[in-house]
Each structure stands twice: as C-alpha cells, then as structure tokens.
Structure 1
C-alpha cells in the first residue's frame, strides 16, 4: 500500500507531462512517448517473468509454502488480466455506442432512455470482468 502512495504522485506527474507533450503533436514527441511506453511494457513483462519463475530466492525449507503461493499469484495475475481486458473492452464498446447514441439523440431527443440503456449494457462488460476477478481471488 505504501508503494502506491509513493508512486501515485509520480504517476500523476508523468501523466501531466505526457498530456502536455502530446498537445504539441510533433512526431518527435509522439515517438518519445511511444518509446517510453515500450520501455514500461518491457519492464512490466520482465517483472512478470521474474515473478512467475519463482527464482532461487526461497529457502529449501520453505518449498511447500512457495508452491502453494505460486497458484495464488497465478490467480491474482489472472484476475488482473480479467479486469484489464474487460475494462478495455467496455471502453471500446462505450466509445462506439456513446457516439452512436449522441448522433441519434441529436436527431430524435425522445430516444434518450433507449440510448442510455444501450450504453449501460456496454458498460456491463467491465462488471463481468470484475465478477470473474472476484471469483479468481476467492479461489486463491
């Protein structure tokens, strides 16, 4: 928890700098942002590989505890993937349905209720991912 409290201001600062750089819209800035994203992705992938490999950091007497925690970490990674995938899918769905709903509302304002129901159904995809994550965490 403390790591998040330390990292949160850095993340907000990085977001602000990225937002300011992207407002300039030059190709060099876009390339540098993409390079930074690729470096962060490579670092996250390396941490994932190290975390799943188990390494030689465990003592010989604690091998049973290490084996039992391996399935728990796999369940947590699966839960994170479920939430991330569902959130990205919901974001794409809401983007398209929201744009279509606004276009329909500009022509016929009486369709507001139906349009919001369709956008809400698209947002339900994220809730399904959250339910799957809760089930995975409960099994670990």
Structure 2
C-alpha cells in the first residue's frame, strides 16, 4: 500500500467522525439533527470501509499467494469486532434503562428486588450473546 493510499484512508477515517458530529455540535437545533448526524456518520463509516477494501484487498490472487485468505481473515475479524462491539453497546443501553427502572421500583417496594434483578440480567445477556457469536465467527 502506497503512502498516498494510507493518507487517504486516515483522512477518510478522521472525516467520517469529524464531519457528522461537528455538524451536530455546531447546529442550533440539536434534537432534530441527531438523526441526520447518525445517518451521515453511517454513510461516511461504510464509505471508509469500501475505500479500505478497495485499497487494501485489491490485486491478483493466486493459490500460492495467500492474499485471498488474508482478505477473508480480515473480514472475519471485522465481523467479530462488530458483533461484540454493537452487542455491548446495545446491552449497555438496555442495562441503563432496566437498572434505573429497577432502582425506582425497588425504592417504592423492596420485595420486588428479585424480579428487578432478573430483568437487568436479561439485558446484560445481550452482550454475552454477541461475545459468543464473535467466538463462533473466529472459531
């Protein structure tokens, strides 16, 4: 990979974060622009993935070269990282909602602590499922 390709990739990665959230922070109406910011960030993120795929995984592939196996391994690692990361983010959001509701309910009636802990544990299980999926992808 040439130096210009590395530079283009680094600039694309930085811009994929800076442009949408910079526009979100500079906007007057922060409630309505969050959705547009997330859509723009997703567009730039997947565009950067496409650029990385074109720059890193192009070329001729032969049986003795092994570059096709490296391409498949790269996508496997990316899939494992995304399954773990996104499930942990989802689990964190679910635990935040369930735990705050459980604490509010337990402050009124302390006899429901067991039921409340079950809901918090079920929300935490989402992250564990993502970790299991990433192990099955890598294994």
Encode CA deviations 1:34-67: one digit per residue, 9 max, x unaligned: 8876665444322211233366764777983211
**The 10-residue stretch of structure 1 (36-45 or 125-134) with the greater mean CA deviation from structure 2:** 36-45
- Give 1:68 shift: 0.7
Partner of 1:87: 88
CA distance in 2: counterparts of 1:86 and 1:75, whole angstroms: 16
User: How far off its partner does 1:97 sit?
Assistant: 1.8
Q: How many Å apart are 1:126 and its aligned residue?
A: 0.3
Look up the match of 1:137.
138
Give the match for residue 114 of structure 1: 115
C-alpha RMSD over aligned residues: 3.7
Instruction: Map 1:17-32 onto structure 2 (within 5 A).
Output: 26-27=28-29
Higher normalized contact order (CA 8 Å, seq sep 6+, divided by chain length) = 1
Return the offset for 1:115.
1.5
TM-score after normalising by structure 1: 0.59
C-alpha separation between the residues in 1 aligned to 2:57 and 2:128? 38
Residue of structure 1 in register with 2:13 after alignment: none
What is the TM-score of this pair, normalised by structure 2?
0.60
Query: 5+ unaligned residues in a row in structure 1: which ranges?
Result: 1-13
Separation in 2 of the partners of 1:104 and 1:60?
Answer: 60
Change (3 A) 1:103 1:57: same
Q: Using the alignment, how far apart are the partners of 1:126 and 1:47 within structure 2? A: 26
How many residue pairs match? The answer is 119
The aligned counterpart of 1:51 is 52
